[in-house]
């Protein structure tokens, strides 16, 4: 199939705020392109893009969906259109990143009834960060009351600059779309259309000295010159075409397709780098290089890898190299994704997105390339998780399935992590938000038949001492035959920062024979697993064994181990023990108007603001917050900022828990019983 030259491939990603109409636009495009025999809709669950059960029940996009179809344009040429509907919801940012990385142009959707929103900016920015070279804007929602294309256009220009130029307007009846190049622009739009045409001519002329000269001397350019100029202008970001689309009636879709074919970037215009920053030359005739942007685990076909072909041509029934593993992968069948459906293909080239079933050991972010070329594409990186929950199985049967299910679900979502915490004995699921984790729970059921529940994860508290104290224990047992004897005196103090030498033998005159020291050390290590406040591990203490006694016959390693352990417990209680908790550095990004609410909330969270900076029209608060206060912060921040705030966090250090908080932690500790353990 697919003998369309790379210069005629248009690969774009549809981005924007949640609920702005991206999926409705995708359905309208898919219908026009003949990928569906009716216009799919999310309302009835018939969308070609939101077809997963989770998407149908929640009525939001969760997974990106890609489509390909050839399209014969008005200029007589046939183009290969390759597009991806990306979710706008913050929890599924990973899908957006991968979709942007796989595309060359970002088609940004703006709902006229809401204007430019946080998700609009996020989508725009993500596409740029992932290397998409061009942007275009579609205004939706114009059939709704109290909406205006002109007002929305002004908001778009305010947010993204004068490079945003209308290439079409909304007709007076709000049903049709009028191109600025149309022969019969209605009188009320004549002035605006003329201004737009003039701006478009200038932008086209600016791309080339010869065109500039002609434009100055003759005041105009030919249609072909305009098209060539604009195609260059979009790919360097100086021109962002804006047009209205009435997705529900299909109005504006032909005009949009025209804009896509004429002005959107082709795969050779996107800069493709390898991991060292060297450019990868993009051409059908070059050796094959492809980036695995997404994997899906399907219960029928098994694993499916979605590969963006960066350069070259890939044929079915061949072998490729996986640069990460160094191993080879057999490419059997290849499929062109068309939403829920797929079409078989035996050859794909630069710019295509291809689904390859059953690769043995290939993961998201891997590069596949022609054998012997060992190219590694620039890394595909995903944000760190910010929302943590403990996950536990409902029944023993679920417990048996949970591990496998977790592996399957996390394998296909690089923003979902699972961690078995040896200290708290919990399995912790980490993701980008509460909806993300909630979806994961349902996927565990659907994909792995494991019923699980989420709960607030335990915090890995620690204990240490603030003072210096002595501890003593004489372990002596006389019962019939050989007895047990060992006596230890030790001093406990805080281990200075940076030092590691925590066990010191300060005994003199052989009060304890050297060979019993390792046993005492073992006893201390055991005792330190559970501190005396709430049974959490003890860290950063130094123990100096300075005296003791032994018995020629009855002393043994076990006796000294027990004596060491008990001396430690006695000493620790006296050495002003304190509880330590993990402190996270949290970076909160939100609009200026939310600062008061965020700061007020931070004071309830024992937060400490380190600094506030302005960044791209938003405020960035750097703060330190105890991890214990952050369990529900994704949802809380979303609520106090009306969805406009986001945050990221990383572990900073352990710090002392304030006295007022300690009793609650002690009461809730799962380790309390160690106190009495023999
Ligand atoms: N009136 C009107 N509704 C729209 C339009 N575009 C989308 N919708 C509706 O808005 C809701 C959200 O649309 P959807 O495409 O799922 O948004 P997405 O989250 O950006 O993918 C759905 O109920 C759509 O039917 C539009 O142009 N006009
Ligand atoms: Mg959607």
* Confidence at 674, pLDDT banded by 50, 70, 90: low
Give me the residues near ligand 2 (ion), CB cutoff below 5 Å.
Answer: 22-23, 61
Residue 673 to residue 315: CA distance in whole angstroms: 64
Residue 676 has pLDDT above 50, yes or no: no
Domain presence at residue 401: yes
Could you tell me if residue 222 is inside a domain? no
Angle at 193 between CA 188 and CA 194, to 5 degrees: 110
CA 333 – ligand 2 centroid, Å: 29
What six digits make up the tokens of 81? 């259109």
Residues 29 and 152 in one domain: yes
- 498: Cβ contacts below 8 Å, ≥ 6 apart: none
Among residues 575, 595, 625, the one where a domain terminates is 575
Whether ligand 1 lies within 6 angstroms of the CB of 669 is answered as: no
Q: Dump pLDDT digits (tens) for 48-84.
A: 999 988 899 888 899 999 999 999 998 899 999 999 9
Residue 649 contacts residue 584 (beta carbons within 8 Å): yes
Q: What is the band of 672 on the pLDDT scale with cuts at 50, 70, 90?
A: low
Ligand 1 atom showing the smallest separation from residue 144 Cα: 1
User: Looking at the structure, do residues 469 and 498 belong to the same domain, yes or no?
Assistant: yes
Torsion of Cα atoms, 135 then 136 then 140 then 142, to 10°: 140
Nearest atom, ligand 1, residue 27 CA:
15
Question: What spacing in Å lies between the alpha carbon of 143 and ligand 1's midpoint?
Answer: 11
**DSSP letters for 277-339:** SPBPP--TTSPPEEEEEEEEEETTTEEEEEEEEEESEEESSEEEEETTT--EEEE--EEEEET
Select from 24, 40, 137 the residue to mutate for testing ligand 1; criterion: most ligand atoms less than 8 Å from CB: 24
HSE-up of residue 68 (Cα within 13 Å, Cβ side): 22
- pLDDT of 224-252, one tens digit each? 999 999 999 999 999 999 999 999 999 99
* Nearest ligand, measured from the Cα of 253: 1
How far apart CA 138 and CA 426 sit, in angstroms, is 47
648 located within any domain:
yes
Cβ–ligand 1 distance for 170 under 6 Å, the answer no
Instruction: Return all residues near 290 (Cβ < 8 A) that are at least 6 apart.
Output: 307, 308, 309, 310, 314, 320, 354, 367, 368, 369
Looking at the CA of 139, name the nearest ligand: 1
The answer to whether residues 464 and 497 touch, using CB atoms and an 8 Å cutoff, is no
For residue 43, the ligand 1 atom closest to its alpha carbon is 23
pLDDT at 675 over 80: no
Residue 2 Cα to ligand 1 middle (Å) = 32
Average pLDDT in the chain: 93
Round to whole Å and give the CA distance between 640 and 638. 6
Count of helices and strands (H, E) across the chain: 16, 32
- On whether residue 203 sits in a domain, the answer given is no
Can you give the C-alpha Rg of the chain in angstroms?
Answer: 32
Q: Is residue 123 domain-shared with residue 247, that is, in the same domain? A: yes
CB 318 within 8 A of CB 359: no
Q: Which atom of ligand 1 is nearest to the CA of 85?
A: 21
CB atoms within 10 A of CB 676: 6
Q: Which residues of 231-259 are buried (b: 16+ CB within 10 A; e: fewer)?
A: bbbbbeebbbbbbbbbbbeebbbebbbbb
Over the stretch 471-484, which tens digit does the pLDDT of each residue have?
999 999 887 778 89
Q: Determine the pLDDT at residue 658.
A: 95
With a 6 A CB cut-off, is 19 part of the ligand 1 pocket? yes
Going by their DSSP bridges, the two strands 618-626 and 577-590 should be labelled as antiparallel
In the block, residue with structure tokens 């019983």: 673
Same structural domain for residues 518 and 428? Answer: no
The answer on 658 and 513 residing in a single domain is: no
* Calpha distance 40→289 (Å, rounded): 35
Number of domains in the chain: 5
> From the CA of 457, how far away is ligand 2's center (Å)?
31
Q: pLDDT grade, residue 172 (50/70/90)?
A: confident
Are residues 303 and 339 both part of a single domain? Answer: yes
Atom of ligand 1 nearest to the CA of 89: 19
Share of the chain above pLDDT 90, in %: 81
Cβ(157)–Cβ(133) below 8 Å: no
Query: Which among 93, 12, 582 has a CA at the least distance from the CA of 256?
Result: 12
Instruction: Please state at what angle helix 209-218 crosses helix 223-235, rounded to 10 degrees.
Output: 130
Three-state SS across 20-70?
A: CCHHHHHHHHHHHCCCCCCCCCCCCCCCCCCCCHHHHHHCCCCCCEEEEEE
Q: Is the pLDDT of residue 357 over 50?
A: yes
Query: Which of 13, 14, 16, 19 should be mutated for ligand 1, with most atoms under 8 A from CB?
Result: 19
Which token pair is 580?
Answer: 């330590």
User: What are the tens digits of pLDDT across the range 590-629?
Assistant: 999 999 999 999 999 999 999 999 887 789 999 999 999 9
| Ligand 1 close to Cβ of residue 47 (< 6 A) | no
Q: Give a yes or no: residue 400 inside a domain.
A: yes
**Position 211 in a domain:** no
Burial letters 354-391, b for 16+ CB under 10 A, else e = bbbbebeebbbbbbbbbeeeebbbbebebeebbbbbbb
The domain that holds 655 is classified in CATH as 3.30.70.240
User: Do residues 283 and 366 both lie within one domain?
Assistant: yes
What is the per-residue pLDDT for 677?
42
Q: Which residues touch 192 (CB under 8 Å, ≥6 apart)?
A: 150, 166, 169
Distance (angstroms) between ligand 2 centre and the Cα of 203 equals: 32
* CB of 631 closer than 6 angstroms to any ligand 1 atom: no
3-class DSSP state of 574: helix
Of 255, 270, 285, the residue that ends a domain is: 270
Among residues 432, 455, 478, which one ends one of the domains?
455
Q: Is-contact 666 578, C-beta < 8 A?
A: no
Residue 30 included in any domain: yes
Q: Relative to the CA of 24, which ligand 1 atom is closest? A: 15
Closest ligand 1 atom number to CA of residue 16: 20
Above pLDDT 70, what percent of the chain?
99
Looking at the structure, tell me whether residues 539 and 593 fall in a common domain: no
* CATH number of the domain to which 536 belongs: 3.30.230.10
User: Is the CB of residue 61 below 6 angstroms from any atom belonging to ligand 1?
Assistant: yes
**pLDDT (average), residues 375-380:** 94
Give the whole-angstrom CA distance, residue 102 versus residue 133.
Answer: 12
558/598 same-domain check: no
Atom of ligand 1 nearest to the CA of 20: 20
Measured between alpha carbons, how far is residue 367 from residues 65, 104, 133, 274, 376 in Å? Answer: 21, 18, 21, 10, 6
Q: How confident is the model at residue 673 (pLDDT cuts 50, 70, 90)?
A: low
- CATH number, domain at 416? 3.30.70.870
pTM of the model: 0.84
Tell me: pLDDT of 29 over 80: yes
pLDDT for 286 equals 95
Shared-domain flag, residues 522 and 597: no
Residue 1 lies in a domain: no
Q: Supply the pLDDT for residue 1.
A: 47
Looking at the structure, tell me whether residues 469 and 430 fall in a common domain.
no
The answer on 496 and 408 residing in a single domain is: no
Distance from the CA of 386 to the center of ligand 1, in angstroms?
Answer: 29
CA of 632 to the centre of ligand 2 (A): 25
C-alpha of residue 110 to centroid of ligand 1, in Å: 11
pLDDT average, residue stretch 489-504:
94
Give tens-digit pLDDT for 394-450: 999 999 999 999 999 999 999 999 999 887 789 999 999 889 999 999 999 998 999
Structural domain boundaries, residue 637: 579-664
pLDDT digits (tens, 9 = 90+) for 262-313: 999 999 999 999 999 999 999 999 999 999 999 998 767 788 999 999 999 9
């Amino acid at each position: 199939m697919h003998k369309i030259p790379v210069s005629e491939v248009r690969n774009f990603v549809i981005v924007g705020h949640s609920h702005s109409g991206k999926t409705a636009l995708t359905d309208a495009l898919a219908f026009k392109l003949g990928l569906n025999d009716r216009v799919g809709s999310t309302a009835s669950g018939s969308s070609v893009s939101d077809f997963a059960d989770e998407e149908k029940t929640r009525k939001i996009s969760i997974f990106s969906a890609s489509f390909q179809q050839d399209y014969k344009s008005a200029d007589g040429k046939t183009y290969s259109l390759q597009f991806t509907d990306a979710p706008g919801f913050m929890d599924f940012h990973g899908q957006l990143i991968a979709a942007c990385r796989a595309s060359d142009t970002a088609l940004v959707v703006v709902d006229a009834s809401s204007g430019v929103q946080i998700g609009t900016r996020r989508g725009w920015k993500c596409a740029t960060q992932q290397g998409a070279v061009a942007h275009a804007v579609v205004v939706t929602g114009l059939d709704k009351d109290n909406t205006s294309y002109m007002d929305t256009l002004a908001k778009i220009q305010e947010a993204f600059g004068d490079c945003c130029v209308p290439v079409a307007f909304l007709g007076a009846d709000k049903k049709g779309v009028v191109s600025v190049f149309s022969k019969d622009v209605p009188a009320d739009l004549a002035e605006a259309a003329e201004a737009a045409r003039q701006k478009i001519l200038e932008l086209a002329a600016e791309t080339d000295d010869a065109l500039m000269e002609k434009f100055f001397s003759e005041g105009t350019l030919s249609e072909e010159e305009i098209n060539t100029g604009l195609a260059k202008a979009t790919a360097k970001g100086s021109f962002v075409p804006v047009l209205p689309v009435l997705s529900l009636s299909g109005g504006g879709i032909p005009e949009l397709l025209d804009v896509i074919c004429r002005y959107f970037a082709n795969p050779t215009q996107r800069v493709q780098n390898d991991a060292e920053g060297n450019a990868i030359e993009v051409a059908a005739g070059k050796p094959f290089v492809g980036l695995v942007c997404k994997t899906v685990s399907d219960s029928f076909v098994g694993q499916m890898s979605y590969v963006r072909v960066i350069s070259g041509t890939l044929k079915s029934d061949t072998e490729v190299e996986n640069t990460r593993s160094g191993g080879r992968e057999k490419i059997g069948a290849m499929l062109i994704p068309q939403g829920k459906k797929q079409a078989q293909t035996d050859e794909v080239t630069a710019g295509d997105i291809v689904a390859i079933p059953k690769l043995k050991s290939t993961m998201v972010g891997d590069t596949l390339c022609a054998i012997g070329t060992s190219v590694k594409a620039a890394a595909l990186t995903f944000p760190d998780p910010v929302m943590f929950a403990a996950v536990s199985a409902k029944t023993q049967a679920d417990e048996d399935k949970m591990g496998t299910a977790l592996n399957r679900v996390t394998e296909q979502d690089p923003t979902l992590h699972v961690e078995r915490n040896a200290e708290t004995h919990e399995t912790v699921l980490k993701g980008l938000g509460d909806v993300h984790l909630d979806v994961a729970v349902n996927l565990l059921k659907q994909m792995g038949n494991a019923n699980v529940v989420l709960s607030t994860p335990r915090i890995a508290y620690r204990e240490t001492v603030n003072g210096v104290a002595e501890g003593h224990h004489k372990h002596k047992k006389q019962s019939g035959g050989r007895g047990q004897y060992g006596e230890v005196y030790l001093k406990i103090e805080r281990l200075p920062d940076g030092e590691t030498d925590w066990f010191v033998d300060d005994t003199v005159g052989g009060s304890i024979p050297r060979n019993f020291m390792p046993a005492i050390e073992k006893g201390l290590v055991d005792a330190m697993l559970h501190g005396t406040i709430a049974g959490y591990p003890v860290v950063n203490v130094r123990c100096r064994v300075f005296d003791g006694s032994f018995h020629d016959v009855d002393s043994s390693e076990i006796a000294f181990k027990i004596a060491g352990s008990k001396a430690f417990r006695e000493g620790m209680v006296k050495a002003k023990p304190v509880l330590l908790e993990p402190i996270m550095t949290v970076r909160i990004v939100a609009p200026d108007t939310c600062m008061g609410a965020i700061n007020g909330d931070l004071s309830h969270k024992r937060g400490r603001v380190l600094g506030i900076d302005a960044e791209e029209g938003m405020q960035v608060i750097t703060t330190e917050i105890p991890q214990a206060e952050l369990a529900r912060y994704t949802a809380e921040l979303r609520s106090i900022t009306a969805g406009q705030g986001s945050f990221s966090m990383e572990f900073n250090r352990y710090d002392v828990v304030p006295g007022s908080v300690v009793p609650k932690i002690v009461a809730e500790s799962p380790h309390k019983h160690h106190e009495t353990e023999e």
